[in-house]
Structure 1
């Protein structure tokens, strides 16, 4: 079984490699190819990846290359984890929206749109080349914004599934709080990528006892602290929102905070510099503890489970980003939602979802409409399309803000937007 990782020079990659090594019975990889145009980073990451495999006794081979077509040829699955423009572009996404009083974040709001505009054309070009070199390969997208990326891939006819680590992070956290194994925890996880809620936490299976009320009663303060939301909000809602919901539920508070501290991109860039220094040490043969501060917790477990289900036709249930196809009846069938789904060789089939409360359905419908317009802007370009996408976003919604943000978005991303040069 051959897998390829596009963006293999990412400092995330050792987390993924560690998962492949530990979980080799779940996903027996014979050949793993790391692909990245950044040769120096790729060599450092690739060297550590090989040492991790060797330390853990994994028999598979790891190769590195900047040749995308050769790297993906005959792969069973291709994982996408790229960042167009690097941390420098992310830093801009997180700063210029603040000039207009809007949240600066790499997947949400104006910054998220900028990332989508830069990334969709690149991802679609990669996917077309994968289709030529490995026509049977599954594309697993971890590249943000995952919902828009997955919609672009599926709309273009690719065999693609979107992956996020939010659900598996909650599963692991709740399992620890309940003193049970992660496999015993089943989430009623529903919404869009980075716009989800845990409406129930069941033990022993999808039809098991809902212990969410017990979790909130016994551990509500700790859960709320992790989300940077007041405990009272969780108690009043009776659900656990994704931490990305803070950008919606406490937008102005977040803007005030972001204006007083360095961007997350600046923090990550500093962490990455330290990590790359560590990766250069030939004695290092395991992922360093510092990597946990980089983000992406449990990404490896989620990626291994999803690839295994697709390639080995296990038919198990995982939280994925996939076409709605009637699951949420108030959305179009071709909207991309994030819900539990049965996963196998033929793809994904979302499980039935209980009706969504209007409090959540209204926001999901609004953001879905924004994602429609965002994808149109990414595919076809043009200032007017960018303006309409921004105007439709629930965190913006005023024409003066949308106009000002459009000008800033184009100015800061002109080199990545062919239509704007």
Structure 2
């Protein structure tokens, strides 16, 4: 079995490698190709990856290359984890929206739109080259904004499934609080990528007992602290929102907070420099503890599980993924991309039925889906007016003066990545 990772020079790749090594029985990889245009980073990451495989007795071969076409040739699955423009572009996404009084964040709001505009054309080009080389390969997208990118891939006819680590992170957290194994915890996880709520936490499977009320009663303070939301909000809602809902439920508070401290991009950039120095140590043969602060916890486990299921090698029968709605949420079009539990096998992902949604959640999902429609249109066709329309539609922007100012800033800061600008 051959897997390729586009963006393999990421400092986060050793987390993925560690998962491949530990879970080699679930996903028996014979060849793993790390693909990245940054040859210096790729050499450091590739060296550590080989040492991790060797230490854990993995027999697979690890290849590094900057040649995309050669790297994906013959691959059974291709994982996408790229960041167009690097941390420098992320730094911009997290700062210039603040000038208009709007949240600066890399996956939602104006910064998220900028990332989508930079990313969608690049990902579609990669996917088309994968299809020419190996039309049967699955594409697993971990590249943000996952919902928009996955929809672009599916709309273009690619065999693609989107993946996010929010659900698996919450599953692991709840399992620890309940003192059960993660496999015993099933989430009623509903929404869009980075816009989800846990409507239920069930023990034993999709039809198991809902222990969410007990979880909130006994551990509400801990969960609220992790989400950085007031405990009373969780109690009033009776659900657990993803931590990305803080940008919606406490927008002005977040904007004030972001204006008083270094950006997350700056923190990550500093962390990456330190990590790369560690990766160059020939004695290092495991992922360093610092990597846990980089973000993306449990991504490797989720990626192994999804790839194993798609490639017919086992894997969990039900996983939280991003895929076509196809009637699951009746208020959305069938070709909207949602993030819900789905049955996953070699034929792809089929969403499971979900509980009926309170208008409080359905309304915001519908609103953000409308934005994502316009965002994808802007990413595919370009043009200032399309960017403006997407920003005006976003619930974190919504005023024409803000949308105008943000449009000008977005284009100015991303001109080198926008073919039409």
TM-score computed with the length of structure 1 as normaliser: 0.99
The match for 1:58 is 58
Contact 2:142 2:164 in 1 (8 A): yes
Contact 1:3 1:77 in 2 (8 A): yes
Specify the SS of the correspondent of 1:341.
strand
The match for 2:205 is 205
Contact 1:373 1:385 in 2 (8 A): yes
Specify the SS of the correspondent of 2:202.
strand
The match for 1:387 is 388
Query: How is 1:192-341 mapped onto 2 (pairs within 5 angstroms)?
Result: 192-312=192-312, 314=314, 316-341=317-342
Alignment partners' CA distance in 1, 2:245 and 2:307 = 28
Alignment partners' CA distance in 2, 1:153 and 1:367 = 19
Where structure 1 has 5 or more consecutive residues not aligned to the other structure, the ranges are none
Contact 2:35 2:64 in 1 (8 A): yes
Are residues 1:164 and 2:164 paired?
A: yes
Alignment partners' CA distance in 2, 1:67 and 1:135 = 18
The match for 2:360 is 359
Where structure 2 has 5 or more consecutive residues not aligned to the other structure, the ranges are none
The match for 2:6 is 6
Alignment partners' CA distance in 1, 2:151 and 2:313 = 23
Contact 2:30 2:59 in 1 (8 A): yes
Q: Which runs of 4+ in 1 moved over 6 A?
A: none
Contact 2:27 2:313 in 1 (8 A): no
Are residues 1:405 and 2:406 paired?
A: yes
Alignment partners' CA distance in 2, 1:4 and 1:367 = 32
Alignment partners' CA distance in 1, 2:149 and 2:159 = 13
Query: How is 1:78-227 mapped onto 2 (pairs within 5 angstroms)?
Result: 78-227=78-227
Specify the SS of the correspondent of 1:196.
strand
Q: Give the drift of 1:313.
A: 5.8
Specify the SS of the correspondent of 2:301.
helix
**How many equivalent residue pairs?**
420
Q: Give the drift of 1:355.
A: 1.0
Alignment partners' CA distance in 2, 1:207 and 1:251 = 36
Contact 2:171 2:187 in 1 (8 A): yes
Alignment partners' CA distance in 2, 1:99 and 1:304 = 41
Alignment partners' CA distance in 2, 1:70 and 1:92 = 33
Contact 1:6 1:81 in 2 (8 A): yes
Q: Give the drift of 1:71.
A: 0.3
Specify the SS of the correspondent of 1:419.
coil
Q: Give the drift of 1:134.
A: 1.3
Are residues 1:27 and 2:27 paired?
A: yes
Contact 2:171 2:182 in 1 (8 A): yes
Alignment partners' CA distance in 1, 2:209 and 2:383 = 51
Specify the SS of the correspondent of 2:3.
strand
Q: Give the drift of 1:155.
A: 0.2
Specify the SS of the correspondent of 1:41.
helix
User: Any idea what the Cα deviations from partners look like across 1:241-270, whole Å, max 9, x if unmatched?
Assistant: 000000000000000000000000000000
User: Any idea what the Cα deviations from partners look like across 1:279-332, whole Å, max 9, x if unmatched?
Assistant: 000000000000000000000000000000000164700000000000000000
Specify the SS of the correspondent of 2:420.
helix
The match for 2:345 is 344
TM-score computed with the length of structure 2 as normaliser: 0.99
Contact 1:313 1:343 in 2 (8 A): no
Alignment partners' CA distance in 1, 2:122 and 2:207 = 41
Alignment partners' CA distance in 1, 2:225 and 2:378 = 37
Alignment partners' CA distance in 1, 2:352 and 2:72 = 31
Are residues 1:73 and 2:73 paired?
A: yes
Contact 1:117 1:378 in 2 (8 A): yes
Alignment partners' CA distance in 2, 1:170 and 1:394 = 25
Alignment partners' CA distance in 2, 1:140 and 1:259 = 35
Contact 1:390 1:397 in 2 (8 A): yes
Alignment partners' CA distance in 2, 1:215 and 1:317 = 22
CA-atom RMSD, angstroms?
Answer: 0.6
Contact 2:26 2:313 in 1 (8 A): no
